[in-house]
A and B are shown apart, each in its own frame.
Chain A
């Protein structure tokens, strides 16, 4: 197990370098004149241009620039945005909001997805099963860019149950609707997977054995059926995290949440290379670490999985 973790960590380093390198390359290859982009429409004097070029190593070869950047990252220095704000500060503003939003979305997805999936799987063919099937088809069919404004309009504006936008310092309550929207697709896939998994496992031989022991129906479902049905669902959570991150950009945009998504969007729009690369680097790390955790959790849930 320890060897496996070490190998995975080494792989993560390679992946991290590769991913940041690609993003860095894309961001910097694409921009014509970062200094002009920084200044907007105003003219830039040669003096200023020279200082900025020095500061950002703009004359060095691309690989050297990347090297400088990585050195900064390793010492915890994300650099500055083109507007001069330390990216570290931007991060510490944005990340808590996004983490809250993502965890809330994951919580709702897990709660509703697994809960409803379990009931649907136990009562196949019931009204509940059919209703959730129809609902999940709708949700899976609607891209979040459509779903988010609709939810905002219906539950925020029309019904007024939730604030329409989260505001600069979003409260947990203000994040509920965005989290539901963000987690909707995950809820749907988790529900379908749980249902399929439960439907298969209730017929498993070991469930029959559990009943033959005279265990209560509740224990048979909660311990034997659910435990085994969670194995594929846990893997899905790891995969879903990527979807969640992508969805966060849109959701945060629609609900005006000052999180990673909106900062990333802003960075892309203003061609702010350091900002984008900084955020993406952290996203890559988050993604890699969660996937490692999910894989380890998978081994805990299923003892047949052995990592060597």
Chain B
């Protein structure tokens, strides 16, 4: 470990986090910290992350804010989330359950129920076009055709009363008007593409007749039916067992490369995205707390929350331990703590953390940022 991690000190019995299989992870010659070794007491002036110009990215989400009107008041579920993806790239969005990942994805897709949800502000730029301001018809046109989504629990996300082939090709029939025979043929092709064995025989089977992994492949085939440019996969492997998880991840990575899609992988498990993600955006309480390329994030996590998540990445033989390394639970979105939302759980928390919320600031290299009052080397120094 090149960084200090207090989470292990809290749980001495826990095995040291296994090195995820990331190329270059153990390389002693890899670049060290990018930030100058200035004393943490004199914070270096760090530029705020520049927002890219419109049209620069395929999908560019900026400062998205989503609230829910609930009986207990307004739940601030997404509080200024920004991220972007480009064709052929995989972005992982990481965070504990309840951090607002699914709501973010559904806001991008435009399938949130409004009410209770309200998209307060922000932009969802697809090819430069802000989907939050276009007409409902245009929005629907983009949905599924340009940006498609794979849901977590394929058993409930598939309609139990229709054959899988019918569901896979439904959008093609209903939106492209292709005839039944062609639709069936397309469904079989798509099922072949997601490597469902004996696709031609299984096209008329119902979802309950498939195993969990095969059902998730059906979901993926369905999402790919209209050849979307962006695929959002919301915890696509959470309901599956470990070996199947790896297969589905491989499949997604392969398809992303073959189809030149942008892939957004939402997960609470840092372990499952290590091999496939290019960049990682870490969310906490509806905010982005860190984003970096996958190697940097694993090797030198900047934010205390990311360090906590990393400390809890289970080894293959300890999988399923979840996120026990971080004490406490994420805040209720109707009562997010003042200051840094993470401060009640943060081993580094100081007075300033309770008072003012840190902003997302760039660390050294472009496209790496963290929302903590203290730069990483300061965190290291404090626990040294």
Q: How far is the CA of A157 from the CA of B225 in the complex (A)?
A: 62
Q: How far is the CA of A304 from the CA of B170 in the complex (A)?
A: 20
How close is B361's CB to chain A, nearest CB, in angstroms? 35
| In the assembled complex, A228 has its CB within 8 A of some CB on chain B | yes
Q: Per-position contact with A for B7-38: 1 when CB-CB < 8 Å, else 0? A: 00000000000000000000000000000000
| In the assembled complex, B148 has its CB within 8 A of some CB on chain A | yes
Q: How far is the CA of A210 from the CA of B157 in the complex (A)?
A: 9
Question: Which residues in window 175-233 of A have CB below 8 A to B?
Answer: 203-206, 208-216, 219, 224, 227-228, 231
How close is B45's CB to chain A, nearest CB, in angstroms? 44
Which listed residue (B144, B153, B159, B208) contacts A214, Cβ 8 A? B144
How close is B239's CB to chain A, nearest CB, in angstroms? 12
Contact indicator A304/B206 (Cβ below 8 Å): yes
| In the assembled complex, A302 has its CB within 8 A of some CB on chain B | yes
How close is B151's CB to chain A, nearest CB, in angstroms? 6
Contact indicator A215/B161 (Cβ below 8 Å): no
B141 — which chain A residues lie within 8 A by C-beta? 214
Q: How far is the CA of A156 from the CA of B35 in the complex (A)?
A: 90
Main secondary structure of the interface of A (DSSP, over half): helix
Which listed residue (B144, B161, B219, B226) contacts A303, Cβ 8 A? B161
Q: Using a Cβ–Cβ cut-off of 8 Å, how many residues does chain B contribute to the interface with A?
A: 31
Contact indicator A212/B160 (Cβ below 8 Å): no
Q: How far is the CA of A204 from the CA of B149 in the complex (A)?
A: 16
How close is B209's CB to chain A, nearest CB, in angstroms? 9
Which listed residue (A206, A216, A227) contacts B157, Cβ 8 A? A206
Residues A211 and B143 in contact in the complex (CB < 8 Å), given A205-B151, A303-B206, A304-B206 = yes
B157 — which chain A residues lie within 8 A by C-beta? 205-206, 208-209
Which residue among B144, B153, B159, B171 has the maximum number of chain A CB atoms within 10 Å of its CB?
B159
Residues A302 and B160 in contact in the complex (CB < 8 Å), given A213-B171, A214-B171, A215-B170 = yes
Which listed residue (A203, A208, A231, A301) contacts B111, Cβ 8 A? A208
Question: Which residues in window 198-235 of B have CB below 8 A to A?
Answer: 206, 208, 219, 222-223, 225-226
| In the assembled complex, B174 has its CB within 8 A of some CB on chain A | yes
Contact indicator B222/A206 (Cβ below 8 Å): no
Q: How far is the CA of A203 from the CA of B222 in the complex (A)?
A: 20
| In the assembled complex, B264 has its CB within 8 A of some CB on chain A | no
Which residue among A205, A212, A231, A304 has the maximum number of chain B CB atoms within 10 Å of its CB?
A212
A208-B151, A224-B159 are known; give 12 further A-B pairs, CB within 8 A: A204-B156, A206-B156, A208-B106, A208-B111, A211-B143, A212-B149, A212-B151, A214-B143, A214-B171, A214-B226, A215-B175, A301-B161
